[in-house]
Structure 1
Amino acid sequence: MAGLRELAAPFVVCGPSGTTVRTRLKQLTDVDVEVLRQVGAHLGTLASRDLKARCRDGLGHDAGAWAVRKRELTPVSSARWAGAITKASHDQWALARRCAHAHIQSLEAGVRTLRHRLSLPLGQKGSKHAPGGYRSRREWHAKARRLHALEDRLQRIRADWDAGIVRVVRGGKRLARVRHHLTDAGLTEPRWRERWEAERWFVQADGESGKRFGNETIRIAPDGEVSIRLPAPLAHLANAAHGRYVLTGRVTFAHRGQEWADRVAANRAVAYRIHHDTTRDRWYVTASWQNPVTRTPPLNVALVEGVIGVDMNADHLAAWHLDTHGNPVGDPRRFPYDLTGPATHRDAQVRHALTRLLHWATASGVKAIAVEDLDFTAEKTREKHGRQKRFRQLISGIPTGRLRARLTSMADATGITIIAVDPAYTSQWGAQHWQKPLTSSTRRTTRHDAASIAIGRRAQGYPIRRRTAPPRTHQSDGCGHRTAQAEPETPGREGPRPRIPGPRTRSVPPDTERTRATRTPNTVRDVRSKQEWVQDSLLLTE
Structure 2
Amino acid sequence: MPKGICLGGRKLFKKQFHLEENSYENHQEWREAFRKQRNNRIFFIGSKDEKFGNQNCQMVGNKLKVRVIPALEKEFGSHVDVTVEFSYKQDIIFYALQKNQAMNYRFVRKKENWYLFVTTKYKKVDIITNKNLGAIGVDLNHSHIAVAETNRHGNLVHHQKIHTFIQDRTCHQVTATLAEACKQIISRAVKEQKPVAIEKLDFSKKKSNLISSSNTKYKRMISSFAYSKFAELIKSQAMKNGVKIIEVNPAFTSVIGRYKFTHFFGISTHLAASLVIARRAQNFSERFPTRTARCLPVDRHCYVWKPWKAFLKLAVSDRERQVELLFCSRHLPF
Is the alpha carbon distance of 1:344 and 1:228 closer, same or farther for their aligned partners in structure 2, counting shifts above 3 Å? Answer: farther
The structure with the greater share of residues assigned to strand is 2
Query: Secondary structure of 1:453's match?
Result: helix
Aligned to 1:304, what secondary structure does the other structure show?
Answer: coil
2:200 is the counterpart of 1:366: no
CA contact (8 A) 2:41 2:109 kept: no
Conservation of the 8 A alpha-carbon contact between 1:237 and 1:245: no
Give me the whole-angstrom Cα distance separating, in 2, the residues matched to 1:404 and 1:379: 15
Tell me, yes or no, if the aligned pair for 1:335 and 1:356 is still in contact at 8 Å. Answer: no
The residue number in structure 1 matching 2:2 is: 166
Matched letter for residue 106 of structure 2: R
Aligned partner (choices 205, 212, 222) of residue 378 of structure 1: 205
Counterpart Cα distance in 2 of 1:283 and 1:308: 44
> In structure 1, the residue corresponding to 2:207 is in which secondary structure?
coil
Q: 1:422 Cα shift? A: 0.6
Mapping of 1:70-469 within 5 angstroms?
165-167=1-3, 169=5, 201-223=40-62, 225-231=63-69, 235=72, 239=76, 241-242=77-78, 244-247=79-82, 249-252=83-86, 254-255=88-89, 257-277=90-110, 283-290=114-121, 302-334=130-162, 336=164, 338=166, 340-363=168-191, 365-381=192-208, 384-385=211-212, 391-439=218-266, 445-464=267-286, 467=289
Counterpart residue type for residue 450 of structure 1: A
The answer on whether the counterparts of 2:125 and 2:240 sit within 8 Å (CA) in structure 1 is: no
- Give the counterpart letter for 1:358 in structure 2: I
Per-residue deviation, residues 409-443 of structure 1 (Å, max 9, x unmatched):
2112222110000112212322222223332xxxx
The amino acid of 1:264's aligned partner reads L
Secondary structure, aligned partner of 1:263: helix
Consecutive unaligned residues in structure 1, runs of 5 or more: 1-164, 181-187, 440-444, 473-542
Aligned counterparts of 2:218 and 2:141: Cα–Cα separation in 1: 13
d(CA) in 2 for partners of 1:355 and 1:366?
15
Q: CA deviation at 1:293?
A: 8.0
Shift of 1:236: 5.9
- Note if contact 2:125-2:239 (Cα within 8 Å) is conserved in structure 1: no
Secondary structure of 2:272's counterpart equals helix
How far apart, CA to CA, are the structure 1 residues paired with 2:143 and 2:68? 47
Q: Are 1:198 and 1:276, in contact at CA under 8 Å, matched by a contact in 2?
A: no
Letter of the structure 2 residue corresponding to residue 260 of structure 1: I
In structure 2, distance between residues paired with 1:177 and 1:428: 52
Structure 1 residue 189 displacement after superposition = 6.7
Q: Could you tell me the TM-score, scaled by structure 1's length?
A: 0.44
Q: Secondary structure at the match of 1:252?
A: coil
* Larger displacement relative to structure 2 (354-363 or 343-352): 343-352
The structure having more radius of gyration, on CA atoms, is 1
Output the CA distance in 1 between the equivalents of 2:293 and 2:253: 26
Report the RMSD for the aligned CA atoms in angstroms.
4.0
CA distance in 2, matches of 1:195, 1:450: 58
Judging changes above 3 Å, is the alpha-carbon distance between structure 1 residues 287 and 425 closer, same or farther for their aligned structure 2 residues?
A: same
SS at match of 1:395: helix
Whole-angstrom CA distance in 2 between matches of 1:362 and 1:425 = 29
Figure out how many residues of one structure are paired with residues of the other and give that number: 280
TM-score, scaled relative to structure 2: 0.68
For residues 75-109 of structure 1, give each alpha carbon's deviation from its aligned partner in whole angstroms, at most 9, with x where no partner exists: xxxxxxxxxxxxxxxxxxxxxxxxxxxxxxxxxxx
Match of 1:378, SS state, is: helix
For residues 74 and 130 of structure 2, the distance between their equivalents in structure 1, rounded to whole angstroms, comes to 56
Task: Work out whether residues 380 and 396 of structure 1, in 8 Å CA contact, stay in contact via their aligned partners in 2.
Answer: yes
Q: Secondary structure at the match of 2:58?
A: strand
